[in-house]
A and B are shown apart, each in its own frame.
Chain A
């Protein structure tokens, strides 16, 4: 039984890491209706920039973090200016394709600048089991995972406050609700989009640091985005809470399936299990768990 709980807790904590990436998708989708496929590349770009600052210039944590953040804000602003603004009023699929182009661009650029090697990244938290849990309940829970979950929780709390309590946050929600109405009451749409892309860049940086510390900073970080997509459709594209709950469900069920179903079908199911699971959920709730229900009018 303790093994079951160990797998479950491990899965839930891994799920938090997924929702961290899914959060970036949700932010941009909410505010601009763009399905930003480049989120995974932004994670890679942010993490590589951070590591590069540390390795090349020997910056301490906070300075490297700030520089990486500044770079991500720059990327966000430039994306708004160069990619999104000319594509206003185009069909969603065009915008989606543009973000795939952006993904290619960022992947190429980041590796062009920082090289294709795997960079180790240390945040000062070791990936070892928590001893009290190990001795009392015989459950292995990694300290690192717990720390990552706490960071993710903090991030969500900060974002929730930002969205609900600040002036900019309210403007963001207004834009998400109705572009034209927001414009009509004088909310600067272009600025809002630049801000939201910057915030998504910030989320990407946090996700990149945590995932990078886990697996090393390398090209494979972009695949994290593919893990976040089922989380996204399960939770609903428009919901921050959905990203978290979806992440927990996907993380837990994926790990449990890997352990209990995987051996019976020859393993390797983690590549698609989350997708099939999300698909089954969608058949019951077509807009995800917390997504906005669409009313079709003719």
Chain B
């Protein structure tokens, strides 16, 4: 009833190939974008920007990156945080060492550097598959942050490898408040998400999916394995790299390579699993879920503790949080192994038929 494509006829090739062929989707997306670009900056508080919205968007970007590699091309990776680190440090160095380079170009160059590193670590994927590859990507996860700390040139010889990003300014316009930084991040993420959405249904995206579904068969029908797998690694690392640069410049301001540790990689992996493997929308849903869950859990535990006068110390609370987090992950996997994106799809099917399900 609410979600019906009946009567929407496609009369041109352009309409047939549209990114969002159903009118309700287009309206829904326009409403969401309008809300995100106009309503949220007017209404949200400083805390909301800094603690929730900006990291949520940045993690969405990283999750899209990992989803391209794992969800679309089927190469399981546990090293996404390392590629974020490369992006952050590279963007920092381009910004620092090339005077007058626009900051956006630094972000792009940071992403490209991450892509190059990603391709280097993607080379083993041509021979190694499945969990062997996953463990092999851990090599990147442990090696890259170590290298970034050890070679002090990367952090401009600061002690303990901390890099302090300069404030963002584009064409003399300073992005100095959280709301402005949020808008910048939102713009970048929206554009890159659109690009990803386009990419995964293009020739290269279909090649990735063919490799994911069965690589031998894909090779037999003439898909170039080397080219396909390495582009997946490159594009994925590019997204992660840009996310890392934004993480350093727009979110925290100063980061050290150790921040991009295995835990962060796991969190990004959780995002795509909870959100939905092989879905751009799922990347956003998963990022929102994993970013919000600890905050909500924290609030809930404090509230419960107050209610029943339980004197939690912070140690117990954080352990309890870990337990609930783990249990929820398992619960989610058991209830809907294909993630939130699948739930959304089921919801749409229901809305289509409602209120006459037969």
| Chain A residues close to B by CB (< 8 Å) | 35, 82-83, 86-87, 90-94, 96-98, 100-109, 111-112, 116, 226, 229-230, 232-233, 237, 265-266, 268-269, 271-272, 275-276, 278-279, 282-283, 286-288, 294, 296-298
Contact = CB atoms under 8 A, between A and B. Distances in A.
Nearest to A103: B326
Given A94-B273, A97-B333, A282-B127, 8 more contacts: A83-B330, A116-B319, A233-B132, A268-B146, A272-B146, A275-B142, A279-B136, A283-B127
B333 to A, nearest CB: 5
A298 B135 contact: no
Interface in B288-340: 315-316, 319-330, 333-334, 337
Nearest to A229: B135
B124 interface: yes
Contacts of A83: 330, 334
22 contacts: A82-B330, A92-B131, A93-B273, A97-B269, A97-B333, A101-B333, A106-B326, A107-B326, A108-B322, A108-B325, A109-B323, A116-B315, A229-B138, A237-B132, A275-B135, A275-B136, A275-B142, A275-B143, A279-B124, A286-B128, A298-B214, A298-B216
Contact of B135 (A86, A230, A296): A230
A102 B333 CA distance: 11
Contacts of A283: 124, 127-128
A94 B333 contact: yes
B139 A276 contact: yes
Interface of B: 70, 76, 124, 127-132, 134-136, 138-139, 142-143, 146, 150, 214-217, 220, 262, 266, 269-270, 273, 277, 315-316, 319-330, 333-334, 337
A104 B150 contact: no
Nearest to A104: B326
B150 A102 contact: no
Nearest to B129: A286
A226 B78 CA distance: 12
A87 B334 contact: yes
A268 B139 contact: no
B277 A93 contact: yes
Contacts of B136: 233, 275, 278-279, 282
A164 to B, nearest CB: 26
Contacts of A288: 132
4 A-B pairs closest in CB distance = A108-B322, A105-B326, A104-B326, A101-B329
Contacts of A269: 146
Contact of A112 (B127, B132, B316): B316
A230 to B, nearest CB: 7
B323 A108 contact: yes
Contacts of A105: 322-323, 326-327, 330
Contacts of B325: 101, 104, 108
A100 B216 contact: no
A286 B136 CA distance: 11
A22 to B, nearest CB: 11
Contacts of A102: 326, 330
Nearest to B74: A93
Contacts of B327: 101, 105
A276 B143 CA distance: 8
A87 B132 contact: no
